[in-house]
C-alpha cells in the first residue's frame, strides 16, 4: 500500500539515470526520451554547462531567501528580456505560480476582473488558474471557481466578440500544449492583438510550455504578431531545477510594490544558477537554428505516418510536435515505451513529442524507426 495520495496514474517505470537524450530505468532498460520531463529538460538531461554551474553554486550557497540580494536574479532577468520589448521579471517556482503572479498583476494593473481565456487551454491547478483553464476535467469537484473568466473558442474569429471594454486581459498559449498541440494562426493572433489594443486590454501569454526555445525562437510569441504585456515561464527555464518567472512589458514596473507579492524559494541562488546556464546555452542563434532545423526534419519524418486513417495530422512548432490520431493513443504510447521511446499524450488522441532541443538527426531517425516498428505492428494486428 502506497503512502502517496493517488494524484497520478499508475507509473510503469522509474528512471534511475539520464544523459542527453537517453534515460535508463531501474531494471537497466534504456529509452530514448522524447518527453524530457514534459518540456522541462530542454537542454537534454544533465547538460554539462548546466551541471557545471549548478555544481559550482552547490559549493557556495544554496538558499538565502529574498531578504538578501541575489545577483543571479538580475542576470537571469537581463537574459530573459534582452532583445525583446519586455523589461522586468519576478521569479517563482512553477508555471502555475508564474500564472498566479500574472493574475494578481493584471487585477492590480487594470482594476478589472474579466479575463478572456480559451477552450482547451491549460494554465495550472491553483484556484485562479483552474478558472483560467478551459478544460472541465481539471475543475470537476472543486467548484465554485474564481469568477470572471470567460472561455472563448481558440483560433476562431468568434473569440474576438468576447473582448470588450470590461476586459482586463486576454490570456492564451501560442501553441496549446495540454490541449492537443494546437497552433493558432498568425492572422488570428493579429486580429486578437488588434482587438485587445482597441479596448485597452492586456495580453498575457502563457509560455510555460512553449518558451525557452522549445518552438525554435526564445519565445513562441516572437513567431506571431502578438505583443504581450505579460509572459509567464517555467518548465524549461531551469533544465529540471524548479524555476518559474513572470516577465512584463513597459507599464508594469510599478504595479507591484514591496510586499505585493513574493516567494520564499523563488529565485534562490541554486535556481538562478540553473536558469542562467540554461539561457546561456539555449538563447544562442546556433541553438535556435538547431531547434528549427531538427523541428522541420522531425515534422517531415512524422508526416510519413499520416495515412488519413490511423493518423490524420502532424502539428506544432519547432520541437513541440503532435501526431494526431483518430483514436485514443494511451495504449500506443505504452507500446512505444516498451519499444524504447518515451512520448506523452496531449489530450486523448495526440502523441506529443518534446525531445531535447539538442537532439541529433540520428536520434530523431532512431525515434522514427521505433514509431515505424510499433505503428506497423499495430496496423497488422
Ligand X SMILES: Cc1ncc(COP(=O)(O)O)c(C=O)c1O
**Residue from the set 177, 180, 236, 322 that interacts with ligand X by CB under 6 A:** 177
Residue 72 near residue 267, CB atoms below 8 Å: yes
Asked if 221 interacts with ligand X (CB under 6 A), we say: no
Cβ atoms 61, 269 nearer than 8 A: yes
Per DSSP, the residues of 177-189 read TTTTSEEPPHHHH
Among 173, 229, 349, 363, binds ligand X (CB under 6 A): 173
- From the list 62-70, 171-179, 250-258, 330-338, the region that binds ligand X by CB under 6 A is 171-179
CB atoms within 10 A of CB 257: 8
Helix (H) and strand (E) counts in the chain: 10, 17
**E-strand stretches of 93-180:** 114-118, 149-152, 167-172, 175-176
According to the 3-state scheme, what is the secondary structure of 264-286? CCCCCHHHHHHHHHHHHHHCCHH
Stretch near ligand X under the rule CB under 6 A, chosen from 14-22, 48-56, 94-102, 306-314: 94-102
Q: Closest approach of Cβ 339 to ligand X, in Å?
A: 26
Name the residue nearer to ligand X (CB basis): 172 or 370: 172
Measured CA to CA, the distance from residue 272 to residue 255 in angstroms comes to 24
96 is in an annotated binding site: yes
Site for ligand X in 251-270 (CB under 6 A): none
Find where cell 471594454 sits.
165
**Is the CB of residue 273 less than 8 Å from the CB of residue 73?**
no
CB of 178 to ligand X, least distance (A): 5
* Closer residue to ligand X in complex, CB, 222/366: 222
How many residues bind ligand X (CB under 6 A)? The answer is 14
102 vs 288, beta carbon nearer ligand X = 102
Q: Taking CB under 6 A as the rule, which mask of x and - marks residues 233-252 in contact with ligand X?
A: -x------------------
Is residue 208 a contact residue for ligand X (CB under 6 A)?
yes
Binding window for ligand X (CB under 6 A); candidates: 93-101, 163-171, 271-279, 303-311: 93-101
CB crowding 154-172: b at 16 or more within 10 Å, else e: bbeeebbebbeeebbbbbb
Q: Is 304 annotated as a binding residue?
A: no
- For ligand X, the binding residue among 21, 57, 73, 209 (CB under 6 A) is 209
The answer to whether the annotation marks 264 as part of a ligand binding site is yes
Question: Is 100 one of the binding residues for ligand X (CB under 6 A)?
Answer: no
Q: Is 178 in the site for ligand X (CB under 6 A)?
A: yes
Binding to ligand X by residue 96, rule CB under 6 A?
yes
Grid coordinates in use for 122?
491549460
Contact flag: residue 163 with ligand X (CB under 6 A): no
Query: CB 189 → ligand X: shortest distance, Å?
Result: 16
Cell 537534454 appears where? 44
Distance CA 367, CA 100 (A): 37
H-helix segments, the chain: 36-39, 48-58, 71-81, 95-110, 127-132, 186-198, 269-282, 285-303, 330-338, 361-380
Q: Name which of 131 and 301 has its Cβ closer to ligand X.
A: 131
228 sits near ligand X (criterion: CB under 6 A) = no
**107-136 residues near ligand X, rule: CB under 6 A:** 122-124
184 sits near ligand X (criterion: CB under 6 A) = no
User: Under the rule (CB under 6 A), what is the footprint of ligand X?
Assistant: 94-96, 99, 122-124, 173, 177-178, 206, 208-209, 234
Q: Which residues are annotated as a binding site?
A: 95-96, 122, 125, 206-209, 263-264
Amino acid at each position: 500500500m502506497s503512502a502517496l495520495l493517488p494524484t497520478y496514474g499508475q507509473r510503469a517505470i522509474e528512471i534511475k539515470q539520464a544523459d542527453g537524450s537517453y534515460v535508463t530505468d531501474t531494471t537497466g532498460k534504456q529509452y530514448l526520451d522524447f518527453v524530457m520531463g514534459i518540456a522541462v529538460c530542454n537542454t537534454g538531461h544533465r547538460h554539462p554547462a548546466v551541471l557545471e554551474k549548478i555544481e559550482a553554486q552547490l559549493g557556495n550557497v544554496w538558499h538565502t531567501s529574498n531578504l538578501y540580494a541575489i545577483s543571479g536574479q538580475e542576470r537571469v532577468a537581463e537574459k530573459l528580456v534582452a532583445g525583446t520589448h519586455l523589461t522586468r521579471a519576478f521569479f517563482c517556482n512553477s508555471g502555475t505560480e508564474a500564472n498566479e503572479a500574472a493574475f494578481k498583476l493584471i487585477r492590480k494593473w487594470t482594476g478589472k476582473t474579466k479575463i478572456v481565456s480559451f477552450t482547451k487551454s491549460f494554465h495550472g491547478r491553483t484556484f485562479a488558474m483552474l478558472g483560467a483553464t478551459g478544460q472541465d476535467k481539471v475543475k470537476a469537484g472543486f467548484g465554485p471557481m474564481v469568477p470572471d473568466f470567460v472561455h472563448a473558442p481558440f483560433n476562431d474569429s468568434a473569440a474576438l466578440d468576447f473582448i470588450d471594454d470590461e476586459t482586463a486581459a486576454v490570456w492564451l498559449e501560442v501553441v496549446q500544449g495540454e490541449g492537443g498541440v494546437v497552433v493558432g494562426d498568425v492572422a488570428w493572433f493579429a486580429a486578437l492583438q488588434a482587438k485587445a489594443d482597441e479596448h485597452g486590454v492586456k495580453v498575457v501569454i502563457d509560455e510555460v510550455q512553449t518558451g525557452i526555445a522549445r518552438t525554435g525562437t526564445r519565445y513562441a510569441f516572437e513567431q506571431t504578431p502578438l505583443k504581450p504585456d505579460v509572459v509567464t515561464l517555467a518548465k524549461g527555464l531551469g533544465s529540471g531545477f524548479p524555476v518559474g518567472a513572470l516577465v512584463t512589458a513597459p507599464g508594469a514596473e510599478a504595479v507591484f510594490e514591496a510586499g505585493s507579492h513574493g516567494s520564499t524559494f523563488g529565485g534562490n541562488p541554486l535556481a538562478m544558477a540553473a536558469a542562467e546556464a540554461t539561457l546561456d546555452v539555449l538563447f544562442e542563434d546556433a541553438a535556435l537554428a538547431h531547434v528549427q532545423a531538427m523541428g522541420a526534419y522531425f515534422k517531415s519524418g512524422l508526416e510519413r505516418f499520416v495515412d488519413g486513417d490511423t493518423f490524420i495530422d502532424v502539428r506544432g512548432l519547432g520541437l513541440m510536435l503532435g501526431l494526431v490520431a483518430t483514436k485514443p493513443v494511451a495504449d500506443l504510447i505504452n507500446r512505444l515505451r516498451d519499444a524504447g521511446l518515451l512520448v506523452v499524450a496531449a489530450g486523448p488522441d495526440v502523441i506529443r513529442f518534446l525531445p531535447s532541443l539538442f537532439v541529433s538527426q540520428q536520434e530523431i531517425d532512431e525515434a522514427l524507426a521505433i514509431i515505424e516498428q510499433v505503428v506497423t505492428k499495430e496496423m497488422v494486428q
